[in-house]
Each structure stands twice: as C-alpha cells, then as structure tokens.
Amino acid sequence: MASTTFHKRAITAGLAALVLGLSACASGDGDSGGDDTGGGDGGGDLISVGFAQVGAESGWRTANTTSIKDALTKEEGFDLKFSDAQQKQENQIQAIRSYIAQGVDYIAFSPVVESGWDAVLEEAKTADIPVILTDRAVDTEDDSLYVTFIGSDFVEEGRRIGAYVSETLATEPIKVVELQGTTGSAPAIDRKTGFEEATADNPNVEIIASQTGNFTRAEGKTVMEGFLQAYPDIDVVYAHNDDMGLGAIEAIEAAGKVPGEDIKIVTIDGVKDGMQALADGKITYIVECNPLLGPDLAEIIKTLDSGGTVEKRIVTKDEEFDQEAAKAALPDRQY
C-alpha cells in the first residue's frame, strides 16, 4: 500500500487564512451544527485536530463520536475541534474550511456522501494540512488528497450478510426488501453491492424492493410500513444498519406480524439495541461495523506527527453474530 509522510506543524493559522482568503469562523456556527470541544489554539505541545462528523443519525454514530472525543483529549495531547454536520455535506465542507483557516495540524472527517470533496481537499492540501478519512471513503481520482482511510470494508459487510441469507434463509424461494442507507453514501452503495454479489447465483433470492431509510430508525419504520402495504408476502428485510432494522421491527409488529418468525431481519452494525433485538430473536443475524475508531485515529495522528508513515487503507476488524453470539457478547458490549 502507498504511504505518506508529513512534517509536524506544517503551517500557521495566518498563512492558511491568507492562502484560502477565508476568515476563521467558530466551529460552533449554527449552519454547521458545530460543537467545539477543544477551544482556543490549544497552546503548548497539543496537536490540534479538526473533526467534521456526519451527524447523530444512529446509535452507531453516537458511539463513534464518543470514541473520537474520548481518545482525542487534552490529557492525551490533543486539542480537538469537533463539528456535527447534521447529515449535510455543505455543513461538513464549511467546517473543514473553518479548520483550514484556523490552521489546525490535522483534519479528520467521515464524509456524508462519496462525491464532491475534491475542491475542499485541494484547499487542505495547499495549506499542507493532512486529511484522514474515518469510516467512509471519498470518490476521487487523486488519492494524494488524503493521508489514509480507516474503517470497515462495506462491500465485504454486504457480502457476509448476503452469504448468510443465501446459504441459511434461501434454501427455498424468498422475497427480500432492502432498507438502504443515505443515498450516495459509501456504506449504502457498498453494502448494496456486496449483498447483490453474494446472492446473485442463488435463484431463490428475489429483491422485490429497495429504498433509502437514511440510516435512521424513524425513516426505517416509515419505509417498512410502505413495503408491508405494497408487498404482503415479504420474507426477509435486509437493513443497511441496525437502526433501520429496529424501525422495521416496529412496523412489522404494528402490522400484526412477528419479526424474526413471519419476517426475518438481517442488519449491519452491532450496536446494543440491535444486539438486544438479536438476542430476543427479533433480528436474525448481524454483521458488525465497529464504531470505536477513536484510539486508532489518535495513534495514526501521533505516528504522522512524529514523522512516521501509515498505510493508505486501514481496515478494521468486524465480527458476525447470531442469537447465541449476541447473548454472549451483550454483557460486555461497549456500544
């Protein structure tokens, strides 16, 4: 894999503002949904990091945010500036430009969608500020615009769910509905691709409907209600995350059906609520997507800051859970 070395403290805030023609704006700006947890310039030897989060759309994202904030503390040598984009790309771009203008040492973010990042990442590159992608990738032909991408393999997650459905649930013809993640986001695109790849050779698997639920429980419930009205013979729900699967459970129960029996549900994430539903038999199978990226992000930044190098793509380890595995894991589950 490619690797990149960056020099410590590459640029000052004044030069960043001059290059970009921007005036620094507080990361607590209402439009960006900011939440500046660092404050000030940090002083001393603190490493300043601007983190632009997607939002708080799910239990997974909440756990991810907590992990980032717990790892990048002043006690650990960081001055963290954190912003919540409320699932809007324009808010993330605004936050990143604010971090560039402030002259932070590093920028990290989890992109709302894959495309449309080249311009702002070019600005960060011009300012000589290393960018780290967490959880989600960007669609760009110039991979020099970021140092590394750390996160799960979303295509593989979809494949693993698809393999389970094909091998375990599709021994006879089944009708599947799909609750997709946010349109245009890496996990939504990749998890759909992986699932379709893994089920393509099984004629018993028929995907009869696919619609976005934006990774939220409320929208997952709403979309599932529509599916139940349009398709009375659904056998399996494939939800791109636990929260949409939990919303589907509510819709299925409201329709007088039994989740896990009348309709099987398979999901991705492995947050506590999802794992509890799996332990209770309402969800049938979960492939994990580990949100606890904070310690790894801190290690990456410290490595770069000391003049070291990191791999271009760092894949996190994810587990798989059936009902018994969920029961065993729940007592010690961190998220």
Write the pLDDT tens digit of every residue in 238-273.
999 999 999 999 999 999 999 999 999 999 999 999
pLDDT at residue 20 tops 80: no
Mean pLDDT across the stretch 172-199? 97
Residue 204 has pLDDT above 50, yes or no: yes
| CATH numeric code, 3-151+291-317 | 3.40.50.2300
Pick from 37-41, 72-76, 124-128, 168-172: least confident: 37-41
- pLDDT at 44 (0 to 100): 60
Q: Report d(CA 213, CA 244) in Å as an integer.
A: 7
Superfamily of domain 154-289: Response regulator (3.40.50.2300)
Q: Where are the domains of the chain?
A: 3-151+291-317, 154-289
Task: Kindly report, residue by residue over 101-123, the tens digit of the pLDDT.
Answer: 999 999 999 999 999 999 999 99
pLDDT value at position 58? 86
pLDDT digits (tens, 9 = 90+) for 262-317: 999 999 999 999 999 999 999 999 999 999 999 999 999 999 999 999 999 999 98
Per the CB < 8 A criterion, the answer to whether 179 and 171 are in contact is no
Dihedral sign from CA coordinates of 167, 168, 170, 171? positive
Q: Could you give the CA distance from residue 85 to residue 89 in angstroms, rounded to a whole number?
A: 7
Q: What is the 3-state secondary structure (H, E, C) of 181-249?
A: CCCCCHHHHHHHHHHHHHHCCCCCEEEEEEEECCCCHHHHHHHHHHHHHHCCCCCEEEECCHHHHHHHH
pTM of the model: 0.80
Separation between Cα atoms, residue 166 and residue 295, nearest integer Å: 36
Q: Residue 204 to residues 137, 170, 263: CA-CA distances in angstroms? A: 33, 6, 16
Give the closest residue to 164 by CA, choosing from 309, 265, 247, 73. Answer: 265
Q: Report how far apart the first and last C-alpha atoms of the chain are (Å, whole number).
A: 31
* Burial zone of 327 (CB within 10 Å; 0-12 exposed, 13-18 middle, 19+ buried): middle
Instruction: Tell me whether the CATH fold assigned to 3-151+291-317 matches the one assigned to 154-289.
Output: yes
Q: Residue 155 — φ and ψ, nearest 5°?
A: -65, -45
Structure tokens at 68: 């980032």
pLDDT at 229 over 60: yes
Quick one: pLDDT at residue 59?
Answer: 85
**What whole-number distance in Å separates Cα of residue 85 and Cα of residue 25?**
15
* Average pLDDT over all residues of the chain: 89
Confidence band, pLDDT 50/70/90 cuts, at residue 2: very low
Distance CA 292, CA 296 (A): 8
